[in-house]
Chains A and B, each alone.
Chain A
């Protein structure tokens, strides 16, 4: 499809397990973002990739969280040793040229539930 694709759409896991969330951005978009949306909270910035530059990891909440982007396209967000407070919707977004200020294209999110 032409939009941002995320998988899985829903993930239920047990505390302590590792999870991987995948994001396939819009073809040609150089920037990719991960956000976390918790109940009653705004969107929390996690990490940003721009082309071949070093990613901005300033939003990652702990060292259990990591992300990579292979070949400048698909990205994977990994959460190790999941905790109940990690339960949230994880949103991926991409954007094109730097002139498209503020126009992020979001996927439908991956809802993570940690039991």
Chain B
């Protein structure tokens, strides 16, 4: 069975510091990988996704994630965070690209402090 593990439930960091939110998955089939973000009092929204091709994918607000098949990881990184990045981040995998079978991690709460 597929599963997603987000290794850190909470990540406190100072503004302008780098951050890495870790995500590992287990699957016996090929998967597509996603990071969703939930800002305070808002719905979840897609941050970035890996479907195929380049293993490094980027979002419009400076986040990037790299698919590492050998380590079954899809860690999310940003070299310099802002206060506005404070949010809950969810990693998800989709076996065989089936939307309704998205498997979700428990989320990582990123708190950016001044």
Which A residues form the contact surface with B (CB < 8 A)?
3-4, 31, 33, 40-43, 45, 48, 50, 56, 91, 93, 95, 98, 101-109
Contact = CB atoms under 8 A, between A and B. Distances in A.
Nearest to A48: B100
Given A3-B43, A91-B44, A102-B92, 5 more contacts: A33-B99, A42-B106, A95-B99, A102-B97, A108-B41
A45 B94 CA distance: 13
A3 B42 CA distance: 11
A39 to B, nearest CB: 11
Contacts of A33: 99-100
* Smallest CB-CB A-B distances: 7 pairs: A106-B43, A48-B100, A42-B104, A43-B104, A106-B44, A108-B43, A42-B106
A102 B99 contact: yes
Contact of A45 (B42, B90, B100): B100
Contacts of B4: 42
B48 to A, nearest CB: 10
A101 B100 contact: no
A48 B102 CA distance: 11
Contacts of B63: none
Contacts of A101: 32, 49, 51, 94, 97, 99
24 contacts: A4-B43, A31-B100, A33-B100, A42-B4, A42-B107, A43-B92, A43-B102, A45-B100, A48-B99, A48-B100, A56-B100, A91-B43, A98-B99, A101-B49, A101-B94, A102-B32, A102-B34, A102-B46, A102-B49, A103-B46, A104-B46, A104-B99, A105-B43, A109-B43
* Interface SS of chain B: mixed
A106 B45 contact: yes
Nearest to A49: B100
A108 B104 contact: no
A41 B6 CA distance: 12
A100 to B, nearest CB: 8
A43 B99 contact: no
B107 A104 contact: no
Contacts of A41: 106
